[in-house]
Structure 1
Amino acid sequence: MAVEHIYQDECVKANAEHFSEQAESYRNELSMEVAKRCASYILKKFPFDPNITEILDFACGPGLIAFHLLPHAKRIVGADAAQGMVEVFNRSVQEQGISPEKMHCIKVDCLKGDQTDIDGALFDVIICVQSYHHFEDPLHVTRAFVQRLKPKGRLMVIDFANAGNIEQFFEYFLGNKGEHEHDHGHGHGHGHGHGHGHGHGHEHKHENIIAHKHGFSSEQMIDMFKAADLQNPQVECIFTMPKSEMKTYQGFEYFNKIMKSDVDFTFHYFMAYGDKG
């Protein structure tokens, strides 16, 4: 097996372990606020039809965004590598009396070259929120998403732009600066709420869960989407959240050390989207 594949497998494993441990803590005020904002922009970028639109929410976390989108969709399938997230998602579906045919989550470690990992299903919309910076090879993931889109379907990715001191934030977050005793409150669902809280690697156990500490530039995302044969790729800055604002929401504690430091940062969220021909 190629070295890069071994690394990717380890990265997937580390993320799955970490987020399973954090699944119950994701539903905090900060994560839910980020999820609400992300969902509002997603709804503006596609003509959703509750009688037609089928959505894949990849790296969905506990489903914070998916539940916002549900009234606008015929069906939503969540997919996550963390078993704990899958369980929280499906338990929430059951508690709200939603049919699993309407909405459910499955465990998917990584996307294969075919569509058998999601029962061969194709989707009108695929969303992936606050997870691309975890992917060692985001172009591979993007190409796999394209295979799972229906003709004229749309991929929408929300993540951190390369701005606002994001790299220094991640250095603190991973324990490379200061004592590492903090969790990640930006939602996997946002998930990394990392949708996207995460609690990365006590004792540096999970240093490899962040593959792209710089965030992404608009040029990187457009080039990536073009390389995956997506049509008319666009990138838009959708909102920002400075450290000072984050501290007004319950859940900021998951960032712990950097929140107590004098290091300032602002999360700049972008949306990249493109269509399958």
Structure 2
Amino acid sequence: MDYKALSRKHFDNQAAYYDVKATTTVSKFPKMCYAFAEKELRRYKTERLLDLGCGTGEMIRLLRERHPHMMLWGLDLSSEMIRIAKEKQIPDTAFCVGDAEFLPYPDQFFDVVLCMQSFHHYPNPEGVLEEVYRVLRPGGRFLLYDMYVKNRWIRALENRFLLKWLHMGDVHTYGRREICRLMEEQGFFQVYWHKIHPVMFFCKGRKS
């Protein structure tokens, strides 16, 4: 199954009304993460930030308003999402269409990489984490917000059957131990996990 093609098609189709239909699952949960992420970012001195899977750029728009000093980048697989993000003409930002496994940025470039509700779409999570680690400066942080199913049996059924049946590009939902292990294996330390909603978690790690 070509998960990237499915994700691209799904979000290209969602892009036109992604911002206005906040009650739909596809846009509701990412938008619920914005306040959590903005609050977390106040704890760090951040000059350069990448929003990985940025969608229509709403999180970057919020950050531009509240953190005018930040230099902001956004990357998404969906060309339609990026088109809408660029149309917002958010000052001093750079959006591009791209693949999370092949980030078009130099080594040690960002202070923070933010990823909200897109990680479960990545068919090669190890490759994505390797790229995130590469583009972070030493001491930089990866902030991950994603969907969560507490019961491991239900999560297993979802991963094996439901996500494939939906054909929306969803690949895998992660439990606490699984996502923490993935991040630690890619070199992140001070890995911290917290449930922020019955169906969402927050996990962060720091580059050594």
TM range (shorter): 0.7 to 0.9
TM-score scaled by structure 2? 0.83
Equivalences, count = 199
Deviation, structure 1 residue 68: 2.1
Q: Which residue of structure 1 lines up, in the alignment, with residue 87 of structure 2?
A: 91
Q: What SS does the aligned partner of 2:16 have?
A: helix
Q: 1:13, CA displacement in angstroms?
A: 2.4
Q: 1:1-277 maps to which residues of 2 (within 5 A)?
A: 10-27=2-19, 28-30=21-23, 34-46=29-41, 47-49=43-45, 52-70=46-64, 71-72=66-67, 73-92=69-88, 94=89, 98-99=90-91, 102-112=92-102, 117-118=104-105, 122-163=109-150, 176=165, 207=167, 209-212=169-172, 215-240=173-198, 268-277=199-208
Pair member with larger Rg: 1
Structure 2 gaps, min length 5 = none
Q: For the aligned residues, what is the CA RMSD?
A: 2.6
Residue identity in the other structure for 2:34? A
Q: In proportion to residue count, which structure has more strand?
A: 2
Deviation at 1:168, TM superposition (A): 6.7
Structure 1 residues 33, 137: CA separation in 2 closer, same or farther (over 3 Å shift)?
closer
The C-alpha deviation readout for 1:17-75, integer Å capped at 9, x for no partner, is 221122112112226654443122123334245xx521100111112222222222511
The 2-side partners of 1:61 and 1:76 are apart by 14
Q: Is residue 101–residue 124 contact of structure 2 (8 Å, CA) maintained in 1?
A: no
Q: Is the 8 A contact 2:100 2:131 kept in 1?
A: no
> Bigger relative contact order, structure 1 or 2, given CA contacts below 8 A and separation 6+?
1
8 A Cα contact 1:81 1:107, kept in partner? yes
CA distance in 2, matches of 1:130, 1:34: 7
Is the contact made by 2:49 and 2:114 (CA closer than 8 Å) also made in structure 1?
Answer: yes
Displacement after TM superposition at 1:11 (Å): 2.1
Alignment partner of 1:156: what SS? strand
